[in-house]
Structure 1
Amino acid sequence: MITAFALCVFLLAGVVKGVVGMGLPTIAIGLLVLAMTPVEASALLLIPSMVTNLWQLFAGPSPWALCQRLWSMMVALFIGVLLTSQWLVGSGSGWIPAVLGTILILYGLLGLSAVRFSVAPGKETVLSPVMGFVTGLVTGLTGVFAIPAVPYLQALGLRKEDLIQALGLSFTVATVALGVGIWLHGGLQQLDPLWSCLMLVPALLGMWLGQWVRSRLSETLFRRVFFLGLIALGAHSLFRAIG
């Protein structure tokens, strides 16, 4: 039963990632914690997340230029994950679903709002490692990579393809760091490589379907539905944790 549920989750998460370039860990973790612990969900996510993010990173024209520009953010992100991943490994349900729910709600509200931020070129050197570190702390606690990395990368004013690649870079580093953190704190006993590889199949199929949908559906409409869905999912996770 859980296996069928997980396959459907990764198919859905892959579709979302195929359309908007992100959302696989957010959707997958948010739904999987309804049936398993956060560390089990994060372990199951490792291989699908790594493969799909590497594909996203290297599919575009300038991955190495982005690595040079964002290296300080990525290093800080890695460190942040290692500092907090012990709580993800050490917790069952506890307060982590409440944190995750709050993050999903905030992320959804931000996505629906008309608020757009921009970062002045002179501030990027200082802000990049700060945003990376905070993202790492959040990732280590929840297994979700989105906040505040996604809004920050959007605020840098990157071109569309560069933004998609930058998201792929950030998510790749976060996935590696999360894997290392789970391993350092003894959580890899939760990882079954066979099952994680199995989840790669629906994730890749979902990405392909998402790319097909993106060519035929208004992305603006889909993003609106996506962010409303995140708010609903976050509220469910939050109220389930505090109830």
Structure 2
Amino acid sequence: MTELFGFAPVAVAAALFAAFGSAFVRGLTGFGMAILLVPILALALTPLDAVLLANFLSLFIGLSEIVRLVRGAERSAWHIAGVVLLTAPFGFIALSYTSADVARLLIALIAFSAFLAVLFPRRPAAPHGAATTGAVGVVSGLMTGYAGMPGPPVVPYYVGRDIPRETAKASMMLIFTIAPLAGLATGAVMEVLEWQLALFAACLFPAVLLGNWLGNHASGRVSDPAWRSIVGLILAGAAIAACLRLL
């Protein structure tokens, strides 16, 4: 059997490794799954397939924890997620008209932007204003559609504030669960969403569950300052790896 659901063995192996590793990071930090997963998948699959596959996996793992996420998230997460659903289709349409090489470069740059954003000084715990929240939703939506990465603007929005770690994690994860719906719906409407991707995602999902469980278990043993440092290091590593792979 030379292919699985139309994908070469090297692509399947890369997807399995990336799914497990990115899910572990998600469980540990509350984000990072798409930021790590999409750049790696985009080197083995087409950027369009990479984004759609990441959308499926993010949706699946989010739904498995939806009760906890709804209970622990800030109200702002619902506002951002709503804006993301409205704006993500525009990013996805742009991706469909972009060449593969250009898309891979832009996806790597988006991953790098997330690292830069968390370097800003932390803010007080008070919520951001409506304008900032709306802007984060718009940018996150465009990045969701184009790169399958709602995280770059969302992570500094929550991690950059002095709020409890579990509140930040639940808020980010709730957005990352809702955001993929826009990309998948747009892909279906544009008739570029293939059923093989859903089956492929289902086969990868056990690795995602295991990685996420291990990450959650490790998270409880990490102090808050160490957790924030890990967030920055993971973002930096993902950005550097994506850029080096392009070169």
Regarding TM over 0.5, the answer is yes
Counterpart CA distance in 2 for 1:44 and 1:118 is 36
Q: What does residue 24 of structure 2 align with?
A: 15
After TM superposition, the score normalised by the length of structure 1 is 0.83
Counterpart AA for 1:75: G
Aligned partner of 1:76 in structure 2 is 83
Instruction: State the 1:91 CA deviation.
Output: 3.5
Deviation at 1:228, TM superposition (A): 3.4
1:65-118 CA deviation, whole Å, 9 max, x = no partner? 745x4443222111110112112234352322222222222222343x362134
Identity value in percent: 23
1:62 aligns with 2:67: no
The alpha-carbon distance between structure 1 residues 17 and 124, as it changes in their structure 2 partners (threshold 3 A), is same
Gaps of 5+ in 2: 1-9
* Contact 1:38–1:143 (8 Å) recurs in 2: no
1:95 paired residue number: 102
Per the alignment, residue 3 of structure 1 pairs with 12
Indicate which of 190, 193, 205 corresponds to 1:188: 193
Q: 1:214 to 1:161 in 2, by over 3 A?
A: closer
- Contact (CA 8 Å) 2:51, 2:148: kept in 1 or not? yes
Deviates more, 1:93-102 or 1:167-176: 93-102
- State the Cα distance separating 1:8 from its structure 2 match: 1.2
After superposition, give the CA deviation of every residue in 1:2-46 in whole Å (9 maximum; x if it has no partner): 212211111101111111111111111121112111111122223
CA contact (8 A) 2:25 2:212 kept: yes
For the pair 1:176 / 2:181, whether they are aligned, the reply is yes
State how far apart, in whole Å, the 1-side matches of 2:196 and 2:216 are: 29
Query: 1:116: which partner in 2?
Result: 122
Instruction: Quote the residue 1:204 is aligned against.
Output: 209
Is 2:21 the counterpart of 1:27? no
Name the CA distance, whole Å, in 1 between partners of 2:26 and 2:195. 25
| Distance in structure 2 (CA, Å) of the matches to 1:74 and 1:218 | 28
Question: Which amino acid is the alignment partner of residue 86 of structure 1?
Answer: I
Deviation at 1:50, TM superposition (A): 0.8
- Measure how far apart 1:129 and its partner are: 1.8
The alignment partner of 2:203 has SS state of helix
Note the alpha carbon deviations across 1:177-198, whole angstroms, 9 max, x for none: 1111222222202752211111
Give the secondary structure class of the aligned counterpart of 1:33. Answer: helix
Q: Secondary structure at the match of 2:151?
A: coil
The runs of 5 or more residues in structure 1 that have no matched partner are none
SS class of match (2:87): helix
- The alignment partner of 1:34 has SS state of helix
Q: Is the 8 A contact 1:18 1:206 kept in 2?
A: yes
Provide the rounded CA distance (Å) in 2 between the counterparts of 1:4 and 1:222.
29
Question: What amino acid maps onto 2:129 in structure 1?
Answer: E
User: Is structure 2 residue 169 aligned with structure 1 residue 160?
Assistant: no
| DSSP 3-state at the match of 2:101 | coil
Distance 1:211 1:9, change over 3 A: same
Name the amino acid aligned to 1:16.
V
Alpha-carbon displacement from aligned partner over 1:136-193 (angstroms, at most 9, x marks no partner)? 1122121111121121133565433222221122112211111112222222027522
